[in-house]
Amino acid sequence: MTEQHQHVYPVREEFAANAWIDNEKYLAMYQQSVDDPQSFWAEQARRLDWVKPPNQIKNVSFASNNVDIRWFEDGELNACANCLDRHLETRGEQPAIIWEGDEPSDSKTLTYRELHEGTSRLANALKSLGVKKGDTVTLYMPMIPEAAMAMLACARIGAIHSVVFGGFSPDALAQRVVDAQSKLVITADESVRGGKQVPLKDNVDSALTREGTEVVDNVLVVKRTGGDIDWHDGRDIWYHEVVDKQSNDCPAEPMNAEDPLFVLYTSGSTGKPKGLKHTTGGYLLHAAMTHQYVFDYKDGEVYWCSADVGWVTGHSYIVYGPLANGATTLMFEGVPSYPTHGRLGEIIDKHQVSILYTSPTAVRALMAHGDHVMDSSSRKSLRLLGSVGEPINPEAWEWFYRVIGNEQCPIVDTWWQTETGGIMISPLPGAIDLKPGSATRPFFGVRPALVDNEGHILEGATDGNLVILDSWPGQARSIWNNHERFVQTYFSTYEGMYFTGDGCRRDEDGYYWITGRVDDVLNVSGHRMGTAEIESSLVAHDAVAEAAVVGYPHDIKGQGIYIYVTLTDGVEPSDDLKKELTQWVRKDIGPIASPDVIQWADGLPKTRSGKIMRRILRKIAANEVDGLGDTSTLADPSVVEDLIENRVNC
C-alpha cells in the first residue's frame, strides 16, 4: 500500500449524531456479542416476529468430526410474514419495491399491500401446482418484482427456493435443477438487459432436455416481453393465467427456525458448484440487522442494491434484509451503461435514492469513462455508499467517494460470502473511521482471526488466512445433499474454525484488508468462479488435451480469466479455434465465464507427481516473470521459458 492510500476518513460528527450506532455503542455491543452471544442474540432475535419465540439460542459445533450449526432451534416463524404481513398495519401504502425497467421510461412501484397480495396469490398458485413445504423450486428470472414475489411466495408456504442467475447457460441451470431436485421452475419468456433480449424460456427448454431433469413437472412463465417462445402443453403454464385467479389470502406456514429457506449455488475450488443451505431464523435476523446497521437505514429512505437476485447479495440486500425492515428497496432490471453511462446517477435522482450499494466493477467501469459520466445527475439525495463482492482498490474507492458521492457520503466496504449469509466485516458508518480499500472491522458476533498455513492464530498487524472462530446466525448450515463436502471445504483446513478461502491483512489499528482468494477460485467482476469448472469445460472439447485456468489483474473486472491450453496431437492452433473455445465455455457455463485470454501451451509446469503449479502460471499471466521463485521441482523446467516467450499481452 503506498503512502497516498493511507488516507483516513474520520466519521463525521453530524453523521454519527444521527446514526443507529456510534463508536461507543459499537464497541459496547461488539464486546457483549462475543462475550455473551446467548444473551446478545436472544435480545436481537426480538426484532423478528416469531410464531413461537425461541428459548434455545445458539447450539454450535465447529469440530470437524461433528459440524453442527443451529440457532434459535426451538423457535418458529415465517420469513415472508416477517417481510410483508407485519408491515401492513403501519406501512401498507408505503412503497416496498420501486422497480426501474431496462428502458428509462419503464418503472413502477409496489406498496407493501400490493406486494403482499401478489405474493399471497402466487403462493396459492404454487400450492395449486402441488408445491409443498420442503419442496425446492428453481427460479431463473429477470430482475422484475415477480422474482422477489417468487422467493417470498416459496418462503410463505415453506418451499425452498433455488435462484439461478439468469446469465447462466442451460447446462449450468440443468445441473442446479437436478442437484436440488426441483419439481417446478419459474422463469420468464425473456429478460431485457441493456436493450437486448435474453431468451430465458428457450434456455429452460434446452436445460430440460438434459438427463435427470425429468423431475420437473411444470414451468411457470412470466410474460415479460411477449417474445416468441416454444410451448410445451401440459408442462408450461403462464404465470398470469394461474396467479390471477387465486385468492389473495394465503396463511403463512409456521416454520422451524432451522428449516431451510433457500439453497444457493456457488463455485468452489474443486468439482461442481455447491448448493449452500441457508435456514430461516438466523439468516433473516442477520440479513435484517446488518441491513439496518451497516446501511444505517432510516424509515422512509429509498435504498438501492444494484446486484442481481441470482446472487447472495440480491437475496440478503434486495429482498430479505430490506423487506424485513420495512424499507423501500429499488430493483433495477438493466445495466448501468444503458442507454448511456449516466444511467446510474439518473436513477438515483429519479427515485431520490439515499443509499447505493454496488460493486467495485461497476465503479471502475464508470471511472474508465472519466468524471463527466456523472454530469447528467446531481445525486444530491445520496447519504451513504456501499461496495461488495471483491476488493475495492483505493483509486476506485476515492472516485466513488468524490464523483458519485460528491464527497458527502461514507462508503461501507462490506466483506462477506454466499456462505456467510450476510455482511461480516464492514464499517458501521457512524462508528468506524474509513480507510479506502479496507473492509475495516467485524460486525456484531463475528470473530475473525488470521492464521498461518498450519492454523496457528497470528496476533497483531500481519498477513494470514482469514478464518472465523465462532458461528453467527446467518451462517450456511450445510451443502445441499452433501454435508461431508461442507465439512471438508470449510472446517477441515483449520480444526475448529470456519475457513473463508480468503487471504487478509490486519493493520496496526486492527483493520482488516481482504487481499483476495487463496484457493483456486476466481472473482471476475464480483462473480465467483472455480478454475476447475472452466478447466473441465475446456477439456471436454475434442481439440483440448489439457487446460489450466488462472486469474490475472484486470483494470475493470478486478480479475480476468487467463487460459493455458495444450491442444490434442494433430490439432493446429488458430484464432478461429480460440473463438470456438471461447464460445464453448460461454455456452457451457455462461457469458460470465468467457475467457479473456487464451495462450497455446505445448506443456504445462507440473511437479514430478503431476500437479500443475498454478503459482507459476499466475505469475506469467500477470507478467511478473522475474519473480517466478523456485522452478527446480518441476518435472520439466523448460516449459516455463516456452510459456514466458509465448505469453499473451493483456
Under the rule (CB under 6 A), what is the footprint of ligand PRX?
A: 266, 312-313, 388-391, 413-418, 439, 500-502, 514, 516-517, 523, 528
Nearer to ligand PRX, 471 or 566 (CB): 471
549 is in an annotated binding site: no
Query: Helix H segments across 376-510?
Result: 394-399, 483-491
Contacts of 649 (CB under 8 A, 6+ apart): 623
Q: Tell me whether residue 401 or residue 415 sits nearer to ligand PRX (CB atom).
A: 415
Q: Which amino acid is at 319?
A: V
Q: How far is the CB of 534 from ligand PRX (least distance, A)?
A: 16
Contact (Cβ atoms closer than 8 angstroms) between residue 365 and residue 556: yes
Min separation Cβ 400 and ligand PRX, Å: 13
Nearer to ligand PRX, 353 or 388 (CB): 388
* 223 labeled part of a ligand binding site: no
Q: Phi and psi for 49 in degrees, rounded to 5?
A: -90, 115
**DSSP single-letter state for residue 626:** G
Please report how close the Cβ of residue 533 comes to ligand PRX at its closest, in angstroms.
14
| Longest Cα–Cα distance in the chain | 73
Report in angstroms how near the CB of residue 413 gets to ligand PRX at its nearest: 5
Query: Residue 206 CB, nearest distance to ligand PRX (Å)?
Result: 26
Are the CB atoms for 216 and 185 separated by under 8 Å? yes
Is 502 assigned to a binding site?
yes
586 is in an annotated binding site: yes
Measured at CB, which residue is nearest to ligand PRX?
Answer: 418
**Three-state SS for 316?**
helix
**239 or 498, CB closer to ligand PRX?**
498
Written as one letter, the residue type at 5 is: H
Least distance in angstroms from the C-beta of 264 to ligand PRX: 9
Residue from 442, 444, 448 nearest 426 by CA: 442
One-letter amino acid identity for 262? F
Contact 364, 404 (CB under 8 A): no
What is the rounded CA–CA span in Å between residue 582 and residue 589? 11
Judged by beta carbon, residue 329 or residue 418, the one nearer ligand PRX is 418
Nearer CB in complex with ligand PRX: 279/359 = 359
541 labeled part of a ligand binding site: yes
Please indicate if the annotation marks 416 as binding a ligand: yes
Residue closer to ligand PRX (CB basis): 312 or 601: 312
The reply, when asked if residue 313 is annotated as ligand binding, is yes
In angstroms, give the least distance from the CB of 261 to ligand PRX.
Answer: 17
Over 154-189, what HEC string results? HHHHCCEEEECCCCCCHHHHHHHHHHHCCCEEEEEC
- How deeply is 481 buried, as exposed, middle or buried, from its count of CB atoms within 10 A (0-12, 13-18, 19+)? middle
Rg (CA), the chain: 24
Residue 389 is labelled as binding a ligand: yes
Q: Is 418 annotated as a binding residue?
A: yes
Residue ranges of the binding site for Mg(2+): 539, 541, 544
Residue ranges of the binding site: 193-196, 313, 389-391, 413-418, 502, 517, 525, 528, 539, 541, 544, 586
Residue ranges of the binding site for ATP: 389-391, 413-418, 502, 517, 528
Residue ranges of the binding site for CoA: 193-196, 313, 525, 586
